[in-house]
Amino acid sequence: MRITVLSGGVGGARFTRGLLALLRERLPDGAGGTTAQVTVVANTGDDLWLHGVRVCPDLDTLMYTLGGAVHEQQGWGRRDESRRVSDDLAAYGLGWEWFTLGDLDLATHLARTELLLSGVPLSAVTARLAERWQPGVTLLPMSDDEVETHVETVDGRMMHFEEWWVLHRAGVPARRFVQVGLDGSTAGPGVLDALAGADVVVVPPSNPVVSVGTILAVPGVRDALRATAAPVVGVSPVIGGAPVRGMADACLAAIDVATAAHAVARHYGRRADGGVLDAWLVDDADADAVAPLRAEGWTVEAAPTLMTDVPATAAIAARALALVDRLP
Amino acid sequence: MRITVLSGGVGGARFTRGLLALLRERLPDGAGGTTAQVTVVANTGDDLWLHGVRVCPDLDTLMYTLGGAVHEQQGWGRRDESRRVSDDLAAYGLGWEWFTLGDLDLATHLARTELLLSGVPLSAVTARLAERWQPGVTLLPMSDDEVETHVETVDGRMMHFEEWWVLHRAGVPARRFVQVGLDGSTAGPGVLDALAGADVVVVPPSNPVVSVGTILAVPGVRDALRATAAPVVGVSPVIGGAPVRGMADACLAAIDVATAAHAVARHYGRRADGGVLDAWLVDDADADAVAPLRAEGWTVEAAPTLMTDVPATAAIAARALALVDRLP
């Protein structure tokens, strides 16, 4: 069983952790793992060069979460993190003090930067770093090319996505996202094959605009998703009209999509109608979206989708995979 | 009074700290400083890119020592240093774990790297970093160009100077030093002017081969030193046939110079004979070098030259400056 997941950071990482727990139970390999092969295609559109090092927020969140090193409450970054470096760095007054650069996280950035500067592509760097963390999945950046997301706010300012997201907490309404390098990027090694060769593709409850939307905009990815023989199942990142975490509502607003489970489904679209999904799992709180979506031809179910812990998340993954059997 | 110092790391930094203490006493500015203007031209031949960041060992040692932040016993690096990042980085197994990359020190490297990568030349970066440390001197890198020192060992291996110096503790005899970029380098902004416009130039007890020797080999520096109207006074880095600290003997051996106060003087040479010095201060332990050097025309004195603390070092600086009055 080959499962491919298109993931952003925290939401996608937690979902994938639950999925792995489910697969270890259902398809155990006898050594504590699973015989299923899970490939995670990660968004790299939030990546940035900061103080000379390459920061890849979503890749790191996936690596730490699946490798058992994540700061659980925070959802990203390392457990037992400290800020010796960044506290001292602030004294130089170079800016970006609001961007957390933990000491342990910085070790990852330094290792990545050293490898990148020596000419190793990001995909191979990621594989090298993952050797330490053993995430139990094949972790693929969506592209080896650098993509940088900027935000144009309604008051006409341009800023790096991280500045808008972290410093301004997405509080300044965005007019649009400008993703430098995205149109000219190439899908990373293995990405298109992971879609073509999958038995199931899952779109976890990641940000549909700046995480999954960015992956889908890498030339070739949307076509590969539409062409794959595998069913494509999505889990709504919106519960009861609000993003579960993060500020996906601010991103959805910028592209004129309502923060509602049915609206996100329609934004992705059914493959039968030219979209990218075959099925959609919504939260029980959004059960009223089921009937209208079904009327439009969707395979859709409602279930508890709050990823409160790993067992609960495994159950969500089970409900998502079960949708495959209900496809027409 | 304008004094220019050609400095390596620990020895030059400690000497300069003593010199400043002396000047604050003799030429006070009424605000705890001195009316004398001290310019330090620092060796950058030991600099390196490590894990993607630019490390400038001698500039940092000078900045921390003169800025009151140095790890006193160690002689380099920051006080209250920790290794959160480097301990974690070691788990990625990329090598160079033996090179200490302290957390606080790393903050400096990151700040420097960010500025360098944004196009700021090292001299301006150094001035920017020094705003924080207020070293009380004008701190100039010998060059804005990158110079990288490699060591060819007698068994034919080539390695970065820091690998030979730090990992091997200079224990593998060196055949020669290969300084990539040195011949084509240009003296940094202000360097030649600091020599031409000085009232006194001091060569402190720094490594005569890989510290002062490297500065002298920057095109134009040796000529400027020979042409300046200022007297040039050196302090022996060798006491009683051994380097006071560091492993300068291993460097001297590589260029066939004996580890002896008189041999280092002759290696530098008298300006009257085509060398770079006018006067030479040796330790009392090397008093027997005084007569032979005087016979060769040197202005030379013996004095206690162990830089045990700041007052003792100020006294050494006083003895060095006093040599100026004895020049013929």
Question: Is B209 domain-assigned?
Answer: yes
A187 and A175: one domain?
no
Number of domain units in chain B: 1
A255 and A162: one domain?
no
pLDDT (mean) for A168-192 = 95
- Say yes or no: B182 contacts chain A, CB-CB below 8 A: no
A260 and A171: one domain?
no
pLDDT in tens, B94-130: 989 999 899 999 999 999 999 999 999 999 999 999 9
Q: Report the residue of B60, B89, B117, B129 to disrupt the A interface, i.e. the one with the largest count of A CBs within 10 Å.
A: B89
The residue among B50, B15, B64, B259 whose CA lies nearest residue B166 is: B50
* Total residues belonging to chain B: 328
Residue pair B54/B112 in contact by the 8 Å Cβ criterion: yes
Pairing, β A279-283 against β A299-303: parallel
Question: Is B177 domain-assigned?
Answer: no
Question: Is A307 domain-assigned?
Answer: yes
- Considering CB atoms only, which of A82, A88, A113 is closest to B51? A113
A10 and A132: one domain?
yes
Q: CA angle, corner A211, sides to A206 and A215, nearest 5?
A: 120
pLDDT at A245: 78
Question: Quick one: pLDDT band at residue A247, thresholds 50, 70, 90?
Answer: confident
Q: How far apart are CA A235 and CA A328, in angstroms?
A: 18
Residues of B in contact with A85 (CB under 8 A): 84-85, 103-104, 106-107, 110
Which stretches in chain B have pLDDT values below 70? none
pLDDT at B100: 85
Question: Is A99 domain-assigned?
Answer: no
HSE (CB half, 13 Å, CA atoms) of B250?
A: 19
- The one-letter code for the residue type at A297 is G
HSE (CB half, 13 Å, CA atoms) of B144?
A: 13
Residues sharing a CB contact under 8 Å with residue B72, sequence separation 6 or more, in sequence order: B79
Residue pair A165/A247 in contact by the 8 Å Cβ criterion: yes
Question: Quick one: pLDDT band at residue A244, thresholds 50, 70, 90?
Answer: confident
Shortest CA gap A121–chain B (Å) = 15
pLDDT (mean) for A204-209 = 96
Question: Quick one: pLDDT band at residue A246, thresholds 50, 70, 90?
Answer: confident
The residue among B4, B48, B43 whose CA lies nearest residue B190 is: B4
Q: What is the CATH number of the domain that holds B58?
A: 3.40.50.10680
- Say yes or no: A120 contacts chain B, CB-CB below 8 A: no
- Give the A:B interface size as CB pairs under 8 Å: 92
pLDDT (mean) for A7-14 = 97
3-class SS at A110? helix
pLDDT (mean) for A1-8 = 98
Q: Which tokens is B148 given?
A: 């990288």
A155 and A214: one domain?
no
A159 and A191: one domain?
no
Q: In A134-240, which ranges are continuous DSSP H helix? A: 161-162, 191-196, 212-216, 221-227
Residue pair B291/B210 in contact by the 8 Å Cβ criterion: no
pLDDT (mean) for A280-291 = 97
- The one-letter code for the residue type at A324 is V
Residue B289's domain comprises 2-69+120-146+184-240+258-326
Q: How far apart are CA B101 and CA B97, in angstroms?
A: 9
A165 and A291: one domain?
no
A257 and A164: one domain?
no
Shortest CA gap B245–chain A (Å) = 29
Question: Is B133 domain-assigned?
Answer: yes
- Average per-residue pLDDT in chain A? 96
Question: Is B165 domain-assigned?
Answer: no
Question: Is B175 domain-assigned?
Answer: no
Q: What is the C-alpha R_g of chain B?
A: 19
The DSSP letter of residue A118 is T
Q: CA angle, corner B157, sides to B154 and B162, nearest 5?
A: 100
Residues of A in contact with B108 (CB under 8 A): 92
A277 and A161: one domain?
no
Residues sharing a CB contact under 8 Å with residue A55, sequence separation 6 or more, in sequence order: A47, A48, A49, A101, A109
A166 and A196: one domain?
no
A171 and A226: one domain?
no
Question: Is B55 domain-assigned?
Answer: yes
Name the domain boundary from A180, A199, A226.
A180
Residue pair A196/A227 in contact by the 8 Å Cβ criterion: yes
- Say yes or no: B176 contacts chain A, CB-CB below 8 A: no
Q: How far apart are CA B22 and CA B34, in angstroms?
A: 9
The residue among A108, A121, A125, A285 whose CA lies nearest residue B89 is: A108
Nearest chain B residue to A51 by CA distance is: B114
The residue among A100, A218, A214, A210 whose CA lies nearest residue A161 is: A210
A160 and A303: one domain?
no
Pairing, β B148-153 against β B174-180: antiparallel
